[in-house]
Amino acid sequence: MGLRGAPGKVALLKKVQLFEGLSDRQLQQIARLADEIDAPTGKVLARAGDTGREMFVIVDGQATVTTSQRRTLQLGTGDFFGEMSLLDGGPRSATVEAATPMHLLVIGQREFFELLAEAPLISKCIMRTLSQRLRKSDAAFSMCT
Ligand code: CMP
């Protein structure tokens, strides 16, 4: 169960970049599909190697991502994570831990694919973000070789 009713949730979704440009009807659909959770500092939200069953959108707070190459990076308000395992069915590629108290939206695997089918803008935003993360990751890797 979410922490607030549907109208409050839609207002929250409007502030998230991933959902930019979506219609009110689409936002209402996402509000129905997504759960809201709070996570205390230190909470591990995804652990490298585990099976991933949901993705997360950060509404408020910061998370630290530790990749398999032991690189760490920060994600903050408006960022999302946990999408990779859902997309390719592989294990979690990194560990993601709350660096501050966090407020998040959680979207399960079935709901995630419903959203991608329903809202091409979301698919586009996720693909763009994946491309940007790959470029940054390649750049960081080439600095060490
Ligand atoms: P997933 O593999 O499901 O679980 C761990 C998540 O950490 C992953 O999805 C991405 O959302 C995120 N992640 C992994 N590597 C990076 C990276 N290099 N930059 C940003 N986020 C990442």
Q: How far, CA to CA in Å, does 4 sit from each of 30, 66, 79?
A: 14, 32, 21
Q: Is 45 in the pocket of ligand 1 (CB under 6 A)?
A: no
Two tokens, residue 30: 């996402």
Domain membership of residue 1 (yes or no) is no
Domain membership of residue 10 (yes or no) is yes
CATH at 66: 2.60.120.10
Domain membership of residue 38 (yes or no) is yes
Kindly report, residue by residue over 46-100, the tens digit of the pLDDT: 999 999 999 999 999 999 999 988 999 999 999 999 999 999 999 999 999 999 9
Domain membership of residue 80 (yes or no) is yes
Domain membership of residue 66 (yes or no) is yes
Identify which of 41, 42, 39, 56 has the alpha carbon closest to the alpha carbon of residue 103: 39
CA of 10 to the centre of ligand 1 (A): 26
Q: At residue 1, does pLDDT exceed 60?
A: no
Kindly report, residue by residue over 110-140, the tens digit of the pLDDT: 999 999 998 999 999 999 999 999 999 888 7
Q: At residue 5, does pLDDT exceed 90?
A: no
Please give the residue that has the higher pLDDT: either 42 or 6: 42
User: How many structural domains are present in the chain?
Assistant: 1
Nearest CA, atom 14, ligand 1: 94
Look over the chain and give the mean of its residue pLDDT values, rounded to a whole number: 91
State the residue range of the domain holding 119: 6-144
Domain membership of residue 108 (yes or no) is yes
Q: Is 52 in the pocket of ligand 1 (CB under 6 A)?
A: yes
Check: CB of residue 135 under 8 Å from CB of residue 128.
no
What angle, rounded to 10 degrees, do the helices at 24-33 and 6-13 form?
A: 110
Q: What is the mean pLDDT of residues 16-35?
A: 91
Please give the residue that has the higher pLDDT: either 91 or 3: 91
Nearest CA, atom 17, ligand 1: 133
Q: What is the mean pLDDT of residues 2-31?
A: 84
